[in-house]
Structure 1
Amino acid sequence: MLRQSASFRADGQRERRGIHPAIFYTTFALLLSGNALQGTALLMAPDIARLLGGQNELVITAYEDRLAQMRVEIDRLHSRNYAQAGDINLQLQELSAQQETLLEQHQLVKALVTKADELGLASVSMPDSAVLPELATRNGNPDVAATSASVLQMMDETQEAMSGIASAATERTASIVGELSRLGIRVNLPDTDLDGIGGPLLASLDGADQVSPILEDANAVMSALMRFKAARDSLELAPVHMPIVGNFRQSSGYGNRKDPFTGGRAFHSGLDFAAPTGTAVLSAASGVVSFVGERSGYGKVVEVEHGNGLVTRYAHLSAYLSRKGQQVQIGTPIAKVGSTGRSTGPHLHFEVRRADEPLDPKSFLDTGKRLLAMLN
């Protein structure tokens, strides 16, 4: 009786809509195949947190387990009894549409996660589903409505993931800009206020797709990431990195002090780092070597221009490892520690100057420590 009733419904549909049985079952098979893609998207979305945490092997294992689970549930969907248990075509179509939206959303999130990871935002915490819920059942058959609710939940979580990336990027951009601004360094960020659009005013067309709000959200997140990249890149030119590593100690600070030769009060225009002769001296930021030679009282000197009117000076050197006009990066060896000029022993004298006026290098190095701690 059940089989005859189902046949009568199918015949009824043919009379009303003119759908051939072969077309009906082909369409139904395509919808079921689409659920396999839905399963893949559902499996991936909850693992954004693990992807961002670098736990790739755990993610792969979780995918395999969940794929096996979804295969079992999809096999249930192929059950003839379920296919004949009422008119589920509309529900399946709605689920298919949700699946396509989730797939689009997830692909965008994957791209954003990859970009965030490239920019050093891999430690960002994202919402994470515990385990993909099993496909709900009703009277022993899969429940499409409950599955649809699970899909919508996953869509919400991927939306939260995008928001999380944007929030982290925006927060860190603000931190970098604020720290560097206190040092008088201006950060050039991409202008996100450019929203020029246009075109002739035409009547709307039925069936024409509207611009996806998901795409607009993803563009906003990517904009936040690009601003963060510009802010992070500005650190390359900011002399906030240590000019020496290894066995050293700070032997003198910036400001007035007792002069080691006269015993009277005198102004010290930089920081002194006592270290063995020959210790590598590193560029504190990217820039161009602007001077290599000797200066009165400083002995052998190397100077590097970094933009924003900033110049770093490295003095009392024993040897040069760079030449005038050379492009250098953060950490490029440019000289060796020595005791030339007015010096009591081997050490690096490090200065930060703007408009040929000395600034306190400690403020720059302390800023660098805070920012690097945040970025790491």
Structure 2
Amino acid sequence: MRRGVHPALFYSMFVLLLGGNALQGTALLMAPDIARLLGGQNEQIVTAYEDRLAQMRVEIDRLQSRNYAQAGDINLQLQELSAQQEALLEQHQLVRALVTKADELGLAALGGVDEQILYAPTTANGNPDVAATAATVVQMMDETQQAMSDIASAATERTASIVGELSKIGIEVDLPRTALSGVGGPLLAAEGSSDQTSPSLEDANAVMEALLQYKAARDSLALAPVHMPIVGNFRQSSGYGNRKDPFTGGRAFHSGLDFAAPTGTTVLSAGEGVVTFAGLRSGYGKVVEVEHGNGLVTRYAHLSAFLSQKGQKVQTGTPIAKVGSTGRSTGPHLHFEMHRADKSVDPKPFLDTGKRILSMLN
């Protein structure tokens, strides 16, 4: 038979537990914060906690401000790079226009900007890559500069070649003056950090001036009588200067170049000009004369037919007559003369100059 807990022992244990709880409650009441809170000092406690929270908010705001500043710097960098890209895109279009103009003038297509680099790269998460974007901007600037430099160099070099070659035969090229550059004004302190005129725009203006100079040189080449007056099946049968006369056998002066060719072969104007004579001359038979300016006149003789008339404006290569054997001639050929200030000069240096220039241009 089991025995239960004695009532006296049970009540004794209950009294001990109750007393322990009372002592613990008294200790809690003696705790400083709780005692002040229960004693009516709760406002001080709340104020202290609020001060601590305010300090924490200040620290959080400072950290957030730093993050915002860093994010702002990145956004500012991206905005600046985006503005530079837009400007470079416009310059790219300008370079394209200059290249097209150069092609029209016979210059090979030179340089250009790789269109694959015209757009800002992104990171793996799709955000703009600031460093890579900056690198593409630098690459675009370099390629734009190189393209314009190539065009200007080619145009300037060829202009100098044409002018130099024509000057050797006494033909002066009238090149356009460069753009007016007069500037002035009071000396004032600079404002801002950037100039109104970008270096690329100045480079583009320089390229355009170089192309205009080259165009003027090419136009002078078209005016100059330096082009072959005959094409097809022909050969030079006699040169300029003293030779054995084909009729008398004695020494005589020959005032032009002879090109033997079949009767009816087309004769072309050696340069741009105006037909000043189309008719008969003693010893020459049927003759066409073209005035080219600069005191230069070309004469085409021993013709079989006229394809032009006095007063007609002709271009380089315009058909003006046909080969024949009229006048003092032993057979069908073109007698080609060059006159400067009413005095005959050797046509060969003129034709050789034309061949060299055309070879260079082609």
Q: TM class, shorter-chain normalised?
A: 0.7 to 0.9
In the other structure, the counterpart of 2:300 is: 314
Question: Aligned to 1:236, what secondary structure does the other structure show?
Answer: helix
Q: Whole-Å Cα distance in 1 between the matches of residues 152 and 182 of structure 2?
A: 22
Pick the aligned partner of 1:220 from 180, 187, 206: 206
In the other structure, the counterpart of 2:361 is: 375
In the other structure, the counterpart of 2:260 is: 274
Q: Whole-Å Cα distance in 1 between the matches of residues 252 and 115 of structure 2?
A: 65
Question: Aligned to 1:233, what secondary structure does the other structure show?
Answer: helix
- What does the per-residue CA deviation read over 1:237-266, in whole Å, with 9 as the maximum and x for residues that have no partner? 111111111111111111111110111111
Question: Aligned to 2:139, what secondary structure does the other structure show?
Answer: helix
Q: CA deviation at 1:143?
A: 2.3
- 1:116 pairs with 2:102: yes
Q: CA deviation at 1:197?
A: 2.7
Is residue 105–residue 155 contact of structure 1 (8 Å, CA) maintained in 2?
A: no
In the other structure, the counterpart of 1:92 is: 78
Q: CA deviation at 1:160?
A: 0.6
Q: CA deviation at 1:135?
A: 3.2
In the other structure, the counterpart of 1:340 is: 326
Pick the aligned partner of 2:349 from 363, 369, 376: 363
Moved more, 290-299 or 224-233: 290-299
In the other structure, the counterpart of 2:310 is: 324
- 1:305 pairs with 2:291: yes
In the other structure, the counterpart of 1:21 is: none
Q: Which TM-score applies when normalising by structure 1?
A: 0.73
User: What amino acid maps onto 1:223 in structure 2?
Assistant: E
In the other structure, the counterpart of 2:39 is: none
User: What amino acid maps onto 1:92 in structure 2?
Assistant: L
Is residue 224–residue 292 contact of structure 2 (8 Å, CA) maintained in 1?
A: yes
Is residue 250–residue 272 contact of structure 1 (8 Å, CA) maintained in 2?
A: yes
User: What amino acid maps onto 1:120 in structure 2?
Assistant: G
In the other structure, the counterpart of 1:180 is: 166
Question: Aligned to 1:240, what secondary structure does the other structure show?
Answer: coil
1:57-96 equivalences in 2 (<5 Å): 88-96=74-82
1:232-247 equivalences in 2 (<5 Å): 232-247=218-233
Q: CA deviation at 1:347?
A: 0.4
Q: CA deviation at 1:147?
A: 2.0
Is residue 95–residue 112 contact of structure 2 (8 Å, CA) maintained in 1?
A: no
- What does the per-residue CA deviation read over 1:279-337, in whole Å, with 9 as the maximum and x for residues that have no partner? 11110001000111111111111000000100000000111111111100111111111
1:10-89 equivalences in 2 (<5 Å): 88-89=74-75
In the other structure, the counterpart of 1:260 is: 246
User: What amino acid maps onto 2:351 in structure 1?
Assistant: L
Is residue 98–residue 152 contact of structure 1 (8 Å, CA) maintained in 2?
A: no
Q: CA deviation at 1:138?
A: 6.7
- 1:102 pairs with 2:88: yes
In the other structure, the counterpart of 1:75 is: none
Q: CA deviation at 1:86?
A: 8.7
In the other structure, the counterpart of 2:33 is: none
Q: CA deviation at 1:111?
A: 1.5
- 1:161 pairs with 2:147: yes
Q: CA deviation at 1:87?
A: 5.9
- 1:147 pairs with 2:133: yes
Q: Whole-Å Cα distance in 1 between the matches of residues 115 and 178 of structure 2?
A: 36
Q: Whole-Å Cα distance in 1 between the matches of residues 76 and 113 of structure 2?
A: 31
Moved more, 203-212 or 248-257: 203-212
1:197-216 equivalences in 2 (<5 Å): 197-198=183-184, 210-216=196-202
Q: Whole-Å Cα distance in 2 between the matches of residues 282 and 294 of structure 1?
A: 18
Is residue 338–residue 348 contact of structure 1 (8 Å, CA) maintained in 2?
A: yes
In the other structure, the counterpart of 1:35 is: none
Q: Whole-Å Cα distance in 2 between the matches of residues 355 and 222 of structure 1?
A: 36
Moved more, 160-169 or 352-361: 352-361
Structure 1: stretches of 5+ with no match in the other structure:
1-7, 18-83
Is residue 264–residue 324 contact of structure 2 (8 Å, CA) maintained in 1?
A: yes
- What does the per-residue CA deviation read over 1:98-151, in whole Å, with 9 as the maximum and x for residues that have no partner? 212211321221121111111111254x37769759936478865221221122
Number of equivalent positions: 302
Pick the aligned partner of 1:353 from 325, 339, 354: 339
Question: Aligned to 2:137, what secondary structure does the other structure show?
Answer: helix
In the other structure, the counterpart of 1:65 is: none
Alignment RMSD: 3.1
User: What amino acid maps onto 1:305 in structure 2?
Assistant: E
Q: CA deviation at 1:194?
A: 3.4
Q: CA deviation at 1:215?
A: 1.3
Q: Which TM-score applies when normalising by structure 2?
A: 0.76
In the other structure, the counterpart of 1:229 is: 215
